[in-house]
């Protein structure tokens, strides 16, 4: 696996690749887990070259504490990516990605103000801006995103259509631990007691009753609920477990 630390090096490689090559791209913030690796597998199955980026994007954190404590585990991440037979890992610096000091931004003003957007001001503008930058740099044929962050995926797909970006956006299923808890980098911050509570969250959220029933069951289990909502035949949740914010969602069509 080739590690690329600057934009110029990747551009040279990108230029030298044969036109027949298909490039799959998986953007991540690192601290990789089986959810991320399912995306690299999907990319390897459908492309001849897979690029993974690792960048903890400061502009999408509305909570500075969350940014500071975001787990950074680069050495282990690189081992996982090598084992997963990823071809290129792009690890840029914030200064190179934001030469404009974030004065230029991509924002959406309809879907992004609901659900996550209502509780995380500026979050989706940070996400859309960084994904746009990465798509412009990597120029992949297909980019892979997790259903775990469904609203993010939907906004990114909308953005690529709105701006005529030549990349297909593919969504991959949420990968869960045996307990039902969705893999997330934030799970690593949970103590054993909080992990038990997080598993309870996944369990109660999947019990298929009404949103208000789910909400009262969560509150009874001592879990702080930010929202439980249904939209477009999908159920979404955001909760706090010991100050750590967890999200989940699933399609109601599958029930
Ligand atoms: P992150 O590193 O959290 O920015 O996530 C990078 C990508 O991995 C995003 O497209 C996420 O939706 C996806 N992802 C995160 N957790 C999971 C999971 N448990 N299952 C599937 N995809 C995931």
Each residue of 153-205: pLDDT tens digit?
Answer: 999 999 999 999 999 999 999 999 999 999 999 999 999 999 999 999 999 99
Q: Is 126 in the pocket of ligand 1 (CB under 6 A)?
A: no
Query: Is the full-model pTM beyond 0.95?
Result: yes
**Can you tell me which atom of ligand 1 is nearest the CA of 145?**
10
**Can you tell me which atom of ligand 1 is nearest the CA of 182?**
19
Interatomic CA distance for residues 167 and 110, integer angstroms? 23
Shortest-distance Cα residue to atom 6 of ligand 1: 28
**Residue of 32, 148, 169 to mutate, ligand 1, most atoms within 8 A of C-beta:** 148
**Residue of 29, 39, 51, 73 to mutate, ligand 1, most atoms within 8 A of C-beta:** 39
pLDDT of 219-250, one tens digit each?
A: 999 999 999 999 999 999 999 999 999 999 99
Q: Is 29 in the pocket of ligand 1 (CB under 6 A)?
A: yes
What is the average per-residue pLDDT within 1-8?
98
The strand order across the sheet containing 234-241 reads: 224-231, 234-241, 244-251
pLDDT of residue 255: 66
Residues designated as active site: 36
pLDDT of 64-84, one tens digit each?
A: 999 999 999 999 999 999 999
**Can you tell me which atom of ligand 1 is nearest the CA of 29?**
2
Average of per-residue pLDDT values in the chain: 97
pLDDT of residue 36: 98
**H helix intervals, the chain:** 7-16, 34-46, 64-69, 74-83, 94-97, 116-119, 123-138, 150-162, 192-205, 211-220
Interatomic CA distance for residues 202 and 183, integer angstroms? 11
Percent of the chain clearing pLDDT 90 (strictly above): 98
Confidence of residue 30 (pLDDT cuts 50, 70, 90): very high
């Amino acid at each position: 696996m080739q590690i690329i630390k600057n934009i110029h090096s990747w551009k040279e490689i990108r230029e030298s690749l044969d036109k027949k090559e298909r490039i799959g791209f998986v953007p991540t913030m690192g601290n990789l887990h089986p959810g991320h690796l399912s995306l690299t597998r999907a990319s390897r199955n459908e492309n001849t070259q897979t690029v993974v980026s690792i960048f903890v994007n400061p502009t999408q954190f509305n909570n500075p504490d969350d940014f500071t404590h975001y787990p950074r585990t680069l050495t282990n991440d690189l081992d996982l990516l090598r084992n997963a037979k990823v071809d290129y890992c792009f690890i840029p610096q914030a200064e190179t990605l934001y030469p404009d000091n974030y004065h230029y931004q991509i924002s959406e003003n309809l879907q992004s103000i609901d659900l996550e957007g209502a509780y995380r001001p500026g979050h989706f503008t940070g996400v859309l801006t960084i994904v746009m930058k990465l798509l412009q740099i990597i120029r992949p044929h297909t980019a892979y995103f997790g259903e775990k962050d469904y609203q993010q995926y939907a906004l990114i797909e909308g953005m690529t259509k709105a701006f005529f970006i030549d990349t297909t956006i593919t969504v991959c299923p949420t990968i869960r631990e045996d307990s039902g808890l969705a893999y997330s980098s934030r799970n690593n911050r949970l103590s054993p007691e909080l992990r038990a509570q997080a598993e309870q969250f996944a369990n109660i959220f999947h019990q298929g009753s009404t949103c208000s029933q789910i909400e009262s069951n969560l509150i009874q289990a001592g879990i702080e609920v930010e929202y439980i909502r249904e939209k477009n035949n999908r159920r979404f949740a955001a909760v706090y477990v010991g100050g750590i914010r967890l999200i989940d969602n699933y399609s109601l069509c599958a029930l």
